[in-house]
Chain A
Amino acid sequence: MTHASPDLRPRWLNVLAAAALAALAVGFWTGLVTSPPDVNQGELIRIMYAHVSVAWISFLATGVAALAGMVYLWRGRAAADAVSVAAAESALLFGALTIIGGMTYSRPTLNTFWTWDAKLTLTALMVALLVGVFVVRGLIDDPQRRGRVSAVILIIVLASLPLNYLAAEWFRTLHPAKAIDLTGGGVTMEPIMLQILLINVAAAALMFAWMLSERIRIGVREARLEAERDRPGREDDEEVVRV
């Protein structure tokens, strides 16, 4: 049985990359050019498309990371850990973008960069725990223990997401209430703005899918290399080669 070389880049990945870049270009155009100014926020509403889209995808990426972590805890497959850590990296990227973008949105609209309200604090906690995943992974040499510990942390992060989602409703302080309420409150947003937001969410989702796919390929190859190095009898093989 022959295996495809890991060096060969699959065509679907190039198609995904092209789709992600095209969607991102459309997202930029609609967000920066097509969108009308808001009655209250004026041009600043354009920040909302960038901020909300990455915030939603940070939740999605955290969910993927935690689910793959659960699969790793259940089955112990190295591939599940590779998916989990790849998604966790994206979750950290999108989480950090959510916080920095939120601060950029908050300063001109609410006159402050930051306050320790419930939603902001929970989001900061999510990012801190995701940083913790990589700190812990760097400290543990055993791949199985490393995968198990990071999976448990990711499940804790996932458990905090419903609270994070509902925090803006339960604790009305700085963060505005949701304009799209999945708990039955409906949509309180201009249809054109909703369309542009959804385009940007789709663009961020495609970027996530592209980055995740690239990172998983690297993770699987790294795990294969690590397993090959740790293979029993490998040193004997090398001795034979040297002789």
Chain B
Amino acid sequence: MFDGLHPWFWVTFAWLQLLVAYGGYLWYLRGRAQRLQRREEEER
């Protein structure tokens, strides 16, 4: 199934993992900070 894939497929897939993981985690942190901000405003 994976034997005929071009080397650049694997290279691209490997580097895309970094982009998705970094972007996804930073997006998660942004959402968490926004939720925290709302909770802090409710507490005030």
Residues of chain A whose beta carbon lies under 8 Å from any beta carbon of chain B? 6-7, 24, 28, 31-32, 42-44, 46-47, 50-51, 54, 89, 93, 96-97, 100-101, 104-105, 107-108, 207, 211, 214-215, 217-218, 221-222, 225, 228-229
Contact = CB atoms under 8 A, between A and B. Distances in A.
Contacts, number: 74
B30 to A, nearest CB: 8
A9 to B, nearest CB: 10
Given A96-B21, A108-B7, 19 more contacts: A6-B40, A24-B18, A32-B15, A42-B7, A43-B7, A46-B15, A47-B11, A47-B15, A50-B14, A51-B14, A89-B25, A105-B10, A108-B5, A211-B25, A214-B29, A214-B33, A217-B33, A218-B36, A225-B40
A204 to B, nearest CB: 8
A44 B32 CA distance: 37
A210 to B, nearest CB: 8
Contact of B15 (A6, A50, A207, A214): A50
Interface residues of B, number: 23
**Helix, strand, loop or mixed for chain A's interface?**
helix
A93 B25 contact: yes
Contact of A104 (B14, B26, B37, B39): B14
Given A211-B26, A218-B29, A218-B32, A104 B21 contact: no
A101 B29 contact: no
30 contacts: A24-B22, A43-B7, A43-B11, A44-B10, A46-B14, A46-B15, A47-B10, A50-B17, A50-B18, A93-B21, A97-B17, A97-B18, A97-B21, A100-B17, A101-B17, A107-B10, A108-B2, A211-B26, A211-B29, A214-B29, A217-B33, A218-B29, A218-B32, A218-B33, A218-B36, A222-B36, A225-B36, A225-B40, A228-B43, A229-B43
